[in-house]
A and B are shown apart, each in its own frame.
Chain A
Amino acid sequence: MLNEKPTWKSSIKGWLYLLPMLAISLTFNIYPIIKSFLMSFYTKYDFYNDIVSAYGFSNFTYLWNDPDFHLAVRNTLIFVIGVVPLNVIISLAIALMLNKIKYVASAFRTIYFLPFVTSTVAIAQVWNWIYNADYGLLNYLLGLVGINPINWLNDPNWAMPALIIMSIWKGLGFNIVLFLVGLNNINTRYYQAAEIDGANSWHQFTNVTIPLLSPMTFLVTVNGVIGSFKVFDEIFALFQGSSGPSKSALTIVYYLYEKFYTEWKYGIAAASGVVLFFLILIVTLLQLWYSRKHVHY
């Protein structure tokens, strides 16, 4: 039955089962994908009636010449570089420790994972309060070790670090869970073999754990990079509906939102989305290429 060639009857049945998902998907996924690529070439667009009167490349030349967009790309890259490596290293270290301890490991895991299930907007209000320059908890704690108060959210130099710290805090739990899965999948025989060969624990770590964990490290990194490229909620909520002091936390998606929602420049917004897509694509391909050489499956 299952290996038979499809017939008219079986095909109609198959498509009927697919129909509800297909109808929604065509309208709200497939069509908009094509549409947003087209829209990036619309130069005169009446969105009320969905009528296009001119096409061209001017949306892309606008982005090329817009200092705000340059800033958005730069800030996005800084955010990705600030969040992903630290997040991977810290979550790996915590997962390794959780994997070694005997008691209350699951209680620790519960706590570390908690931020993942909480609303970004709500928890960003809490961080906004913690970062408060005058009465914030963080400046108080830093004061105890002799560090002068920092104007976290209003000083353009500190806004991005504030955003990065909060994002790492929120994302750790997810990666820890994935690393724990990866560590559990390593067959203990490898460690036994290494021990017989006289490898000490450091050598076991570098020669067994790291290579055998590399597929998971790769997955966590790619996931993290893609997610960080699309950061928006955190910024909107932490900086109360702005892109930070002197746009110091303006990222690509935030730029897209502003062009689209506050300035109604749909063509430019769509073009910035296309740029985002290609940036993510290029970085993901680079990582794939790198993984071919360094990830051991």
Chain B
Amino acid sequence: MKKVASVLRYLILTLGAIIMILPFFWMLSTSLKTQPETIQLPPVWIPKSLQWGNYVEAFKAAPFGRYFVNSVIVTVVTTIGQLFTSILAAFAFSKLRFWGRNLLFMIFLGTMMIPGEMLIIPNFVTLSNMHLVNTYGALILPWLASFFTVFTLRQTFNSVSDQTYYAAKIDGASDWKFLWHILVPMSKSTITAVTVLQVIGSWNSFMWPLIVTNDENMRTLPVGLQAFTTDAGTNFALLMAASTFVIIPMVVVYIFLQKYIIAGISNSGLKG
């Protein structure tokens, strides 16, 4: 009886895993086919000869190189900037005493209730008044502060005892030194988790870059890919090749840093 249940579990889980993997497999398989092969019925699972040239052709069919550079710049600057502002703010909320501290914290908690989509219109107006639409500024500035990140880091900083803070102060360390030489290294795993999740979020973000870029040169990869679908038309091999190189970087990040991503998500679950 127990054995049957166990075999059944593996069977169902394997079937589920196949369903999860199939779209990725189909993307890769299609991206390596010749045009006639893509629409052949019954479908060709593995192309006769792998058309690596599709990748070269897709890459040249639209300025994907430029999109790639834009995505890298936006992701890196957003992530580092947000981490910097959040570490400072989380430290203040966790270890410093100042007037208005609790009130401000409650206000920020309240803002988390607001759907971010509501902020798009006023932010667009603000940025167009600053003449920043179609610049890296518009893509990056609004994301340099994240209360969710502040909140997560504050929890971790709180778990470092106040005694450690006193001790460092008595030894003559300034707050700035304590933060960067003791607190940050002690919270390395949370910071890594937050960073990786932010990188994935920035890389994949779509609605905001779509709205603030209409100049082709400023598009990020997802926006560029969406625009490319019109040019690609029914050339599914090229479209799948282009989709593959939008997806691959985050898959690589995921494979190497999976531990931190899972930990980051588990943490957010534990708090709830």
Contacts and interface: CB of A to CB of B under 8 A. Distances in A.
Given A20-B88, A112-B17, A25 B147 contact: yes
A126 interface: yes
Contacts, number: 281
Interface centre among B9, B41, B118, B211 (most CB of A within 10 A): B118
B89 A120 contact: no
B250 A273 contact: no
A292 interface: no
Contacts of B111: 25, 29-30, 33
B145 interface: yes
Nearest to B267: A181
A10 to B, nearest CB: 5
B99 A140 contact: no
Contact of B118 (A19, A21, A36, A115): A36
Given A28-B126, A127-B23, A140-B43, A5 B97 contact: yes
A181 to B, nearest CB: 5
Contacts of B19: 169
Contacts of A121: 204, 206, 222-223, 225-226, 246
B253 to A, nearest CB: 7
Interface in A223-248: 223, 226, 229-230, 232-233, 236-237, 240-241
Interface in B72-121: 84-86, 88-89, 91-93, 95-99, 101, 104, 107-108, 111, 113-121
A36 B88 CA distance: 29
Nearest to B199: A117
A98 interface: yes
B254 interface: yes
A142 interface: no
A166 B38 CA distance: 22
A17 B96 contact: yes
B96 A33 contact: no
Contact of B120 (A11, A21, A260, A277): A260
Contacts of B206: 119-121, 233, 236-237
A253 interface: yes
Contacts of B270: 181
Interface string B196-219: 000010011011001100000000
B261 interface: yes
B92 A181 contact: no
A36 B6 CA distance: 54
Interface string B140-168: 01101101001000000000001001100
B180 interface: no
Contacts of A6: 97-99, 101
Interface string A109-138: 111111101111111011101101011010
B265 interface: yes
Interface string A173-189: 11001100110000000
A64 interface: no
Given A125-B229, A232-B207, A140 B121 contact: no
A276 B6 CA distance: 45
Given A14-B98, A27-B126, A111-B20, A181 B269 contact: yes
A236 to B, nearest CB: 7
Contacts of B200: 117
B258 A21 contact: no
Given A24-B144, A28-B145, A240-B230, A18 B88 contact: yes
Nearest to A128: B229
Contacts of B12: 97
18 contacts: A2-B162, A2-B166, A6-B101, A14-B98, A14-B99, A21-B88, A27-B126, A33-B111, A36-B118, A36-B119, A39-B121, A97-B13, A109-B262, A111-B17, A113-B261, A122-B222, A174-B265, A177-B265
Given A32-B126, A135-B43, A270-B122, 7 more contacts: A18-B92, A33-B119, A113-B258, A119-B225, A120-B222, A122-B222, A257-B211
Interface of B: 6, 9-10, 12-13, 16-17, 19-24, 26-27, 30, 38-39, 41-43, 84-86, 88-89, 91-93, 95-99, 101, 104, 107-108, 111, 113-126, 128-129, 141-142, 144-145, 147, 150, 162, 165-166, 169, 175, 200, 203-204, 206-207, 210-211, 221-223, 225-226, 229-230, 236, 239-240, 242-244, 246-247, 250-251, 253-254, 258, 261-262, 265-266, 269-270, 272
